[in-house]
Amino acid sequence: MALLIPSALRAGEDDPKGLVILEISGALANASNDGVRRYDMQQIEGLGLHEIITETPWTPGRTSFTGVLMRDLLADAGAQGDVISAVALNDYSVDIPISDFDRYNVIMATKMNGEYLTIRNRGPLWVIYPYSDVRSLRNELFYTRSIWQLRSIEIR
């Protein structure tokens, strides 16, 4: 189940005002002069928040996750590719087809059960699929794509 939470904020061409928590590089239309699009929390959440309530292998029972749709984030960055290479703070990386984000309401969560994600609880950013809504997502292939502690994305 996805729920749109209205937001008056919108990420724009301005550089982040706060702490940069995500960098997107690669095949982008909306990058800065150095080819990287940087986001702080306000810019990410300004893209519009959605909620997924789902069971995961890492959390007990049904858990609420709130964040931006991955397709909205990539559209804002002007992604022009077929695959993202996502990298976590611990250097774990995974390639995810961009078609996943068109097919499913995948979010980049900033909150779990209404609280901001921290590094200690897999934050500040965690890619979450709607596992409870789409039975075919409940397998190792999609679980490996739910990268947590996300720090950067390269568009290829």
Q: For residues 54-71, give the mean pLDDT.
A: 97
- Residue 11's pLDDT is 39
Looking at per-residue pLDDT, the higher value among 15 and 67 belongs to 67
Higher pLDDT, 130 or 8: 130
pLDDT tens digits for range 18-27: 999 999 999 9
The CATH number of 2-155 is 3.90.420.10
Closest CA to 13 of 32, 26, 41, 28: 32
Q: Where are the beta strands (DSSP E) in the chain?
A: 2-5, 20-26, 37-40, 49-56, 59-69, 83-88, 93-97, 107-112, 115-116, 126-128, 150-155
Q: Please enumerate in sequence order all residues whose Cβ is within 8 A of that of 55, keeping only pairs 6 or more positions apart, or say none.
A: 61, 62, 63, 131, 132
Q: Which residue has the higher pLDDT, 135 or 32?
A: 135
Q: pLDDT (tens digit, 9 = 90+) per residue, 108-128?
A: 999 999 999 999 999 999 999
Enter the tokens of residue 149: 């502690």
pTM over 0.85: yes
